């Protein structure tokens, strides 16, 4: 692991008494605290990270604010887009001062929590005013439709989880073709995570390598890496975090890993070079 490596997407939770959850939440993991996350990072060798807020606590980001205080200056965070619709400017400024630099749009149809077109536009406009980035979680089955509202956004846009690419179609997958085009614009970034979820063959996920190489070769300066700990939405026990990380040396050489783990996150999230 190179010095100053960054895990650019992980989640934190906490006990329900301190951090109340929304009714009907299906993936609360109170044991996945910031302390547990930092222990995972120490084990793997990450010294920087980006906390991504979950839908568990809604627009109340107390768990994120507390986690940032405990993690220290080498950590940033990404809010939910609902914060920009439901919270005051003072609250949003509090998040910014603590290290929040983006807002995530959860577009999974199975959760039915995608914002209305009007609210989506309001959020994107607010993100531009704040100088934040948009973070998009594409739908599992219709990723292209998920990306449609962001195609003309000028703010930085991070597309999560290898854009849910179809590894069978590979470079011929319309989603892959479109994402490669977007990466050429200069303001789009791709999160290289969840390869094991898009794999059709299973461990060690060799069928993911060609798609990942297509993205890296298209825009090595805008690739980001993430573990996506603690792996919510699983019907089976998720893979070991070390196994997940060891996919990276199989898809990127040493110079590319330096960019993906260190240089690109520093540029995207404002860490020291």
- Mean pLDDT (whole number) for 138-152: 87
Per-residue pLDDT at 215: 98
What confidence tier does 26 reach under pLDDT thresholds 50, 70, 90? low
Q: Residues with catalytic annotation? A: 228
Per-residue pLDDT at 140: 79
Least confident of 63-67, 109-113, 191-195, 254-258: 109-113
What confidence tier does 131 reach under pLDDT thresholds 50, 70, 90? very high
Least confident of 62-76, 112-126, 181-195, 213-227: 112-126
- The pLDDT of residue 249 is above 70: yes
Share of the chain above pLDDT 70, in %: 96
- Residues with Cβ within 8 Å of 32's Cβ and at least 6 positions away in sequence, in order, are 11, 12, 13, 229, 230
Tokens of 133: 């980035």
Select 6-269's CATH number: 3.90.1150.10, 3.20.20.140, 3.30.420.40, 3.30.565.10.
Answer: 3.20.20.140
Closest CA to 59 of 97, 36, 37, 85: 85
- The pLDDT of residue 179 is above 80: yes
pTM across the whole model = 0.95
Question: DSSP secondary structure string, the chain?
Answer: --TT-EEEEE-----TTTS---TT-S---TT--HHHHHHHHHHHT--EEEEE--STTTT--HHHHHHHHHH-TTEEEEEETHHHHHS-HHHHHHHHHHTEEEEEEE--TTTT-PPPHHHHHHHHHHHHHHT-EEEEE--SS-HHHHHGGGTT--S-EEEPGGGG--TTTGGG-HHHHHHHHHHTTSSEEEEE--HHHH-SS-TT-GGGHHHHHHHHHH-GGGEEE---TT--S-SSPPPPHHHHHTTHHHHS-HHHHHIIIIIHHHHHHT---
Per-residue pLDDT at 111: 63
Per-residue pLDDT at 243: 94
- Mean pLDDT (whole number) for 81-102: 97
- The pLDDT of residue 43 is above 80: yes
Per-residue pLDDT at 206: 96
- The pLDDT of residue 141 is above 90: no
Per-residue pLDDT at 238: 83
What confidence tier does 139 reach under pLDDT thresholds 50, 70, 90? confident
Per-residue pLDDT at 225: 98
Output the average pLDDT for the chain. Answer: 93
Q: How far apart are CA 193 and CA 211, in angstroms?
A: 12
What confidence tier does 32 reach under pLDDT thresholds 50, 70, 90? very high
């Amino acid at each position: 692991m190179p010095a100053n490596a960054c895990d650019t997407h992980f989640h934190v939770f906490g006990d329900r008494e301190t951090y109340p959850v929304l009714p009907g939440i299906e993936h609360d993991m109170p044991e996945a605290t910031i302390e547990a996350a930092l222990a995972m990072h120490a084990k793997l060798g990450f010294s920087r990270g980006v906390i991504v807020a979950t839908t568990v606590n809604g627009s109340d980001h107390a768990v994120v604010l507390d986690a940032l205080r405990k993690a220290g200056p080498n950590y940033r965070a990404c809010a939910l887009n609902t914060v920009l619709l439901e919270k005051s400017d003072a609250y949003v400024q509090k998040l910014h001062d603590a290290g929040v630099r983006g807002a995530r749009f959860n577009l999974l149809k199975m959760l039915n929590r995608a914002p209305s077109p009007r609210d989506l536009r309001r959020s994107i406009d607010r993100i531009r005013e704040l100088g934040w980035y948009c973070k998009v979680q594409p739908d599992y089955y219709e990723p292209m439709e998920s990306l449609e509202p962001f195609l003309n956004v000028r703010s930085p846009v991070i597309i999560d989880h290898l854009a849910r690419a179809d590894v069978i179609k590979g470079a011929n997958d319309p989603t892959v073709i479109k994402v490669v085009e977007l990466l050429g614009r200069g303001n789009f970034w791709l999160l290289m995570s969840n390869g094991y979820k898009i794999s059709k063959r299973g461990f060690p996920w060799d069928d993911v390598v060609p798609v990942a190489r297509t993205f890296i070769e298209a825009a090595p300066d805008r690739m980001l890496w993430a573990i996506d700990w603690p792996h919510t939405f699983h019907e089976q026990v998720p893979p070991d975090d070390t196994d997940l990380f060891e996919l990276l040396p199989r898809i990127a050489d040493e110079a590319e890993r330096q960019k993906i783990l260190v240089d690109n996150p520093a540029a995207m999230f404002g860490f020291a070079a």
